[in-house]
Amino acid sequence: MAMIKTVPKTIYHANSFCPGCGHGIVIRLIAEVLEELGHADDAICALAVGCSCLVNRSLAVDRLQCAHGRAAACAAGIKRTRPGNTVFTYQGDGDALSIGFSETVYAAMRNENITAIIVNNGVYGMTGGQASPATLIGQKTVTTVNGRGQDSGVPIDIIKQLSQFDSVAYLARGSLQDAANILKTKQYLKKAFEAQLACRGYSCVEILSPCPTNWHLQPVEAMKRIADEVTAVYPIGVFKEGKS
Amino acid sequence: MKKLMKGNVALAEAAIRAGCRMFAGYPITPQSEILEYLSSRMAEVGGQFVQTESELAGISMVMGAAACGQRAMTSSSGPGFTLKQEGISYLSSAELPAVIVDVMRYGIGLGDIILGQADYFQATRGGGHGGYCLPVLAPSSVQENADLVYRAFDVAEKYRTPVIVLSDAAIGQMCGAVELPPFRDHDIDQFDWTLKGRDEAHPNGRTMTDRMYYDFGYLEYDEHIRDRYNEMKEKEQAWEEWEAEDAEFLLVSYGISSRVCKEAVKLARAEGIRLGLIRPIAVWPFPQKAFDRFNGTVKGYLAVEMNAMGQMVEDVVLAARGKTPVYSMATGRVIADSEDVVRVVKDILAGKKEVF
């Protein structure tokens, strides 16, 4: 039987990410979930700085380009103005966990009714692969040429940070390492948006994603690295799920 | 009916009446009354108030609301105003309307909470990166604190630009009689460009980012920026002339210092010196048109302001176009004294003071 592959209409143009990059998968999952929930037309995205900027050229929802790290604060301003719209951030780990750590955490602290989507590939991709707060110990980058050591800190676990707030609605960490995990990640995204649609408050999905270019690995090897090394530091699963 | 109100509170209430329904701010003296007042007032009119974790978050929340068509405002002072600059540059690049209040204090770095006019450069030169400009309105009374913030929202929407209300600690903290402007409704859906979810006209969603990327050709953007700011320069100059018509010498001053200068004009005229005042109400665009009327005909301009080195005086030099000598009286941390102003004018007329 022939299989017809269709692109969701919420993807309006082929993305321009590097070969093997995970961002293209994530934005497709977002597009599929928004369409399945019937909320692609009312979605508004607060877009981070970095590779996330490229989402502007693919994802067919209203988008606001935010300053580096401030997407969660912008998203709060959007949602508080238009509570009937579906509002989400799209950020990398450098944006959400480093320069925007404060905005990320305080959006959860205030239980803003938004969905934060944080794509964690452990490096600053757009600027050439510098170490991020999520870089693993021992991982070599252009700013940790001998491997990240303890003197430059330890990988930060944002889901653990956000778990301190009892009021938040939904927290999960998914991975793009294989088809099964991609489908699981899609379910996490769906749950997160459903929490927002039910006005249950803040939701966040962190997604472990490959950056073959800056990891200096082939795409398949990059996926294997997530399974073998990254998930050992960043466990995947649902960490908070309130009543629906 | 006039009410007796503190300057900061009058400003905050006027913002509500202008239709502002999002305020996000952070405590800092001497602007905190704006934050405090709106913390309860905003809920009464169904608006959104957030005391944010930082000024960076505050201006970003304002940007999110502004992108959706809301009349949004934040306020700060000194060091906090510095942190607002990131967002102001972004608002300028996306061409979004918003109102930012700087209740100026004195000094560099932490500086001091006392009154001053130390942020003129930062407000009028595009205090953030990239070379933008934006309208800057400078109230000199409690009444103008209310009137100019009310006007600021209209100017912001007219040009799709952030607008700064450059108040100061003295105006913000003093009490005065104020006639509050009427309540206005603001419809967040009145503009097509605001984020509201994709529609038939925008099937791929609206792209609200630095307008340089998607809205102009590579070589068209600079032209657009020049046209945009030149239009504001032409249309948004605003000033008050005080006993200027027959003046032989003109003071130039805004905000709290201009009040002292009005007294100085009175004192000088009692002594037979035909002194007058140009008071910029918008300090950007600077009121070039006012100066063009007097350049070459008056004996000089004396810029009176509360900072250490003189800041506005540089704009006066530009406005004088080399036709009239310009002098500086920067009174630093001390509010100008009207008798001192007259004394300096006499020194200038006697040839005893260097030009700036």
> pLDDT at residue B297 above 60?
yes
Of B58, B68, B213, the CB nearest to A78: B68
Question: Are the beta carbons of B198 and A41 closer than 8 angstroms?
Answer: yes
Residue A13 lies in a domain: no
Question: Are the beta carbons of A226 and A210 closer than 8 angstroms?
Answer: yes
Task: Tell me the C-alpha distance between A241 and A243, whole Å.
Answer: 7
Q: pLDDT value at position A243?
A: 67
Of A61, A64, A106, the CB nearest to B198: A61
> pLDDT at residue A78 above 90?
yes
Tell me: the pLDDT tens digits for A141-190? 999 999 999 888 999 999 999 999 999 999 999 999 999 999 999 999 99
Question: Are the beta carbons of B336 and B260 closer than 8 angstroms?
Answer: yes
The reply to whether residue B206 touches residue A63, judged by beta carbons under 8 angstroms, is: yes
Q: Which of residues 15-74 of A touch B (CB under 8 A)?
A: 40-47, 53, 56, 59-67, 69-70, 73-74
Top-level CATH class of B240-349? alpha beta
Same fold, B3-192+225-235 and B240-349: yes
The CATH number of the domain holding residue A194 is: 3.40.50.970
Q: Show the domain range for A187.
A: 23-241
- CA nearest to B84 within chain A: A67
Residue that has been written with the tokens 């995990």 in this structure: A181
Question: Are the beta carbons of A172 and A205 closer than 8 angstroms?
Answer: yes
pTM as predicted: 0.97
Q: pLDDT value at position A1?
A: 74
Question: Torsion-angle region of residue B266: left (phi > 0), alpha (psi -120 to 50) or beta?
Answer: alpha
> Which residues of chain A lie closer than 8 angstroms to B24, CB-CB?
73, 77
Of B22, B208, B213, the CB nearest to A64: B208
> Which residues of chain B lie closer than 8 angstroms to A61, CB-CB?
197-198, 205
Q: Which helix (H) or strand (E) holds B145?
A: helix B142-159
Residue A219 lies in a domain: yes
For B3-192+225-235, CATH gives 3.40.50.970
Q: Which helix (H) or strand (E) holds B177?
A: strand B175-178
Return the bridge partners of B102, or none. Answer: B76, B166
Q: What ipTM describes this predicted complex?
A: 0.96
Give the gap in angstroms from C-alpha B306 to the nearest C-alpha of chain A. 33
Residue A219, classified by CB atoms within 10 Å of its CB into exposed (0-12), middle (13-18) or buried (19+), is: middle
Q: Would you list the domain boundaries of chain B? A: 3-192+225-235, 240-349
Size of interface A-B (CB pairs under 8 A): 144
Buried b (16+ CB within 10 A) or exposed e, A102-114: bbbbbbbbbebbb
Question: Are the beta carbons of B78 and B116 closer than 8 angstroms?
Answer: no
Task: Tell me the C-alpha distance between B58 and A183, whole Å.
Answer: 37
- Mean pLDDT within B159-186: 97
> pLDDT at residue A244 above 70?
no
Of B21, B60, B210, the CB nearest to A74: B60
- Mean pLDDT within B14-38: 98
Tell me: the pLDDT tens digits for B221-262? 999 999 999 999 999 999 999 999 999 999 999 999 999 999
Residue A11 lies in a domain: no
> How many distinct structural domains can be found in chain A?
1
